[in-house]
Amino acid sequence: MEETGISREHILSILKNAKSEDTSYDRVLSSMCTYPHEIAVLAHTQFIEANMGDPGLFPGTYGLEKEVLKMFGSLLHHNNSPEKCGYLTTGGTESNIQAIRSMVNARRDINHPNVVMPESAHFSFDKVADLSGIEIRKASLDNTLKVDLNSVVSLIDDNTIGLVGIAGTTEFGQIDPIESLSEIALDRDFFLHVDGAFGGFILPFMDMEYHYDFEVEGVTSMTIDPHKMGLSTIPSGGLLFREPEYLDDLEIHTPYLSINKQYSLTGTRSGASVASTYAVMKHLGREGYRSVVDQCMEQTREIVSGAKALGIETVIDPVMNIVALNVPQADDVRKKLLDDFGWHVSITRNPRALRLVIMPHIDNNTIELFLADLEKLV
């Protein structure tokens, strides 16, 4: 590190250069992130120094967090004081880690606990396993890429404490049969965590009705991520439990703060993200999000029909704004799309298909350009 600092102007020019090396989202079809809404950025900046790790110092921001939790509750059919049942995390990984940690802590009577989840579960659960040493058992999928219930049941044993279902799988945007998982969970007194990191800000705004949230009796916790389809700033995640008691299982004693206990995984915690999430959710309302989701689904249909016109089928009928295209030599096509045309797409694992996430930064024109380039390669 240099002895003497460099000027503001010099720093800004270095930052400008770095920024120009970053990919703009225009041709990014591989990410679940997008540009945050302008009002989210404005709110974020205004609350930049707020630390939710010490909420006694920031009662105003803490009040905004309670309002966000009430809005989550309203979206996810949670009618039991949602403002007491969760908090804003750094994202889906923290939410998933904490949901599993809460299960484990509530069932300390079980010595080597395991949790059963679909093969399609996000890699954050591998972090949970690595971090906590608890066993994650992965159930196979049916031919629509939902979790196979027989496989789930076959993996359950005396040490099973909970199940996980996904509302919007990362690879295919599929929704697991949460109601059936709920029956299994209720029968056996298991926890049931639903990972709606992606789907949580999509499913409430679709015409089709799905049953995947707290209206399903056995669901005990949910992950929902404002910094994906919620158009909030990074790092904005959400975790909601059915009852306030689940949060207690996460608490550790905290001397020298304005509070005595802390349930969050991180210590210092962004109040900027709280304000940002509050602002964009209040500003858009259901109407605003419905229009965002409508647009993404419209583009999704465009890409599916355009691909079909090229003779390319989808792996499953898209449920939400994620499309997996069954192209031969998908890895080669992916590489050429990037090298020749600058398109960022990703690859699903099984089957190996081209995976596209149709986020709000994707417009009609982008879809047309993409399909034209894809045509040159297949």
What residues numbered 139-178 form the site for a second copy, per CB under 8 A? 170-171
| C-alpha triplet 69, 216, 228: angle, nearest 5° | 45
- Of 13, 15, 150, 364, the one binding a second copy by CB under 8 A: 15
Closest among 90, 45, 88 to 68, alpha carbons compared: 88
Residue 329: CB minimum distance to a second copy, A: 18
Closer residue to a second copy in complex, CB, 123/368: 123
- Of 26, 42, 140, 378, the one binding a second copy by CB under 8 A: 42
> Can residue 133 be called a binding residue for a second copy (CB under 8 A)?
yes
Say if CB 27 and CB 345 are below 8 A apart. Answer: no
Closest among 238, 134, 245, 232 to 195, alpha carbons compared: 238
Which residues within the stretch 210-249 sit at the binding site for a second copy (CB under 8 A)?
A: 225, 227-228, 233-235
Closer residue to a second copy in complex, CB, 57/149: 57
Tell whether the torsion through CA atoms of 292, 293, 295 and 299 is positive or negative: positive
Burial of 293 per CB tally in 10 Å (0-12, 13-18, 19+):
buried
> Can residue 272 be called a binding residue for a second copy (CB under 8 A)?
yes
Closer residue to a second copy in complex, CB, 67/183: 67
Report the distance separating Cα 41 and Cα 39, nearest Å.
5
- Of 79, 217, 285, 372, the one binding a second copy by CB under 8 A: 285
> Can residue 364 be called a binding residue for a second copy (CB under 8 A)?
no
> Can residue 11 be called a binding residue for a second copy (CB under 8 A)?
yes
Report the distance separating Cα 332 and Cα 143, nearest Å.
25
The three-state secondary structure class of 322 is strand
Closer residue to a second copy in complex, CB, 188/344: 344
**Cα dihedral 173→174→176→178 (10° resolution):** 70
> Can residue 8 be called a binding residue for a second copy (CB under 8 A)?
yes
Which single residue is written with the structure tokens 């709606």? 196
Q: Of the listed pieces 70-78, 153-161, 325-333, 364-372, which binds a second copy according to CB under 8 A?
A: 70-78
Report the distance separating Cα 168 and Cα 164, nearest Å.
12
The pair of structure tokens assigned to 346 is 């990703």
- Of 136, 155, 156, 257, the one binding a second copy by CB under 8 A: 257
Q: Of the listed pieces 17-25, 136-144, 159-167, 310-318, which binds a second copy according to CB under 8 A?
A: 17-25
Report the distance separating Cα 53 and Cα 47, nearest Å.
14
- Of 47, 210, 212, 246, the one binding a second copy by CB under 8 A: 47
> Can residue 266 be called a binding residue for a second copy (CB under 8 A)?
yes
> Can residue 121 be called a binding residue for a second copy (CB under 8 A)?
no
- Of 13, 26, 29, 35, the one binding a second copy by CB under 8 A: 35
> Can residue 363 be called a binding residue for a second copy (CB under 8 A)?
no
Closer residue to a second copy in complex, CB, 61/182: 61
> Can residue 21 be called a binding residue for a second copy (CB under 8 A)?
yes
Report the distance separating Cα 310 and Cα 331, nearest Å.
18
Strand-by-strand arrangement of the 322-325 sheet: 322-325, 354-357, 346-347
Residue 169: CB minimum distance to a second copy, A: 10
Closest among 161, 270, 303 to 278, alpha carbons compared: 270
Which residues within the stretch 87-116 sit at the binding site for a second copy (CB under 8 A)?
A: 90-94, 97, 101, 105
> Can residue 33 be called a binding residue for a second copy (CB under 8 A)?
yes
Say if CB 80 and CB 242 are below 8 A apart. Answer: yes
Closest among 226, 216, 224 to 192, alpha carbons compared: 216
Give residue 80's Cα distance to chain centre: 23
Residue 240: CB minimum distance to a second copy, A: 13
Q: Of the listed pieces 135-143, 158-166, 262-270, 309-317, which binds a second copy according to CB under 8 A?
A: 262-270
Which residues within the stretch 310-349 sit at the binding site for a second copy (CB under 8 A)?
A: 344, 346-349
